[in-house]
Amino acid sequence: MYKYFKPEVISKIKRLELIAKLIVEGFLTGLHKSPYYGFNVEFAEHRPYNQGDEIKYLDWKIFGKTDRFYIKQFEAETNLKSYILLDKSASMNYSGKNSSNITKLDYASYIASTLSYLMLKQSDSVGLVTFDNKIRDMIQPRNSIHNLQHILHSLEKITPGRNTDITPILHILAEKLKRRGLIILISDLWDDPDKIMSGIKHLRHAKHEVIVFHILDYDEIYLPFKGPMTFIDLETGLQLKTVTENIRETYKKSVKDWEMRLLKELGKNQIDYMMVDTTTSFDRVLLKYLNKRKRLYR
């Protein structure tokens, strides 16, 4: 069994749909036709067989003539193409005592694996991009169990990387991903807020639907420590010595202001944003979010 694949969570959310609220190419199964391909409706053309494809769609007549395997493609009514962008920078390796030894990277991986399963379950294509200051791994979206296994294997071996540099990644993907779809960013967003905002807006300008899960440890939100402390930046090694009680309220206000700013600015651009505390069960977070989208956008 995969570390980040929890059947008990899947059983709770498998009937929910992650519904894109904007008109992107291939969303809302059954409501309109798409020029892209799936396996249900009218025959369109053949393509070479790839490992992981459903063998029931093999064209045996073509095999008899060519001794090669080809898959029948059909015009799909819908097929959402989605990318999950997972931040694996060094800061994602933090885990406070309230988080049951689950790092932010662990937590983010649980969300990524569960959403991957959900997207596949509703017949959409899903891929994974992991990054720190560069793109480290990129699994192209496909609608197959094999691709889900590929994603889960990638999450199993993921390790914290280097410093965070989110913005160039977002700009690269905005230019590279030609077909509009769903982008799910999972990160602690410890980077320049203005630059992050510009990168996310670039994705929206390219007509992608964007969802942001802002993952923070309980300690990073509430600063629950007592007495003199030395705080060390996991990415730069910089140290700050202070008495926690002297800065706690100012710090908590700055985090809240950060959240409100992101919520406001991203909301203006029709981007869903949710700050997540890692002490909250990730299945509860997903159920709350998916039910909210189901009510609002259906």
Task: Answer whether 112's CB lies under 8 Å from 186's CB.
Answer: yes
pLDDT band per the 50, 70, 90 thresholds, residue 164: confident
Comparison of pLDDT for 69 and 238, the residue scoring more: 238
Q: Looking at residue 198, what is its pLDDT?
A: 94
Domain ranges of the chain: 7-23+78-297, 37-75
DSSP state of 36: S
Task: Answer whether 133's CB lies under 8 Å from 122's CB.
Answer: no
Q: Looking at residue 184, what is its pLDDT?
A: 94
Share of the chain above pLDDT 70, in %: 81
Topology, domain 7-23+78-297: Rossmann fold (3.40.50)
Q: Looking at residue 69, what is its pLDDT?
A: 80
Q: Looking at residue 121, what is its pLDDT?
A: 78
Tell me the mean pLDDT in the region 163-182.
Answer: 90
Enter the pTM of the model.
Answer: 0.77
Strand partners, 229: 242
Which range is least confidently modeled, 189-193, 276-280, 283-287? 283-287
41: left (phi over 0), alpha (psi -120 to 50) or beta: left
What's the angle, vertex CA 194, arms to CA 189 and CA 196, rounded to 5?
40
At 67-86, the pLDDT tens digits run 888 777 654 444 678 999 99
Nearest partner of 20 among 268, 270, 198, 284, judged by Cα: 270
pLDDT of 207 higher than 50: yes
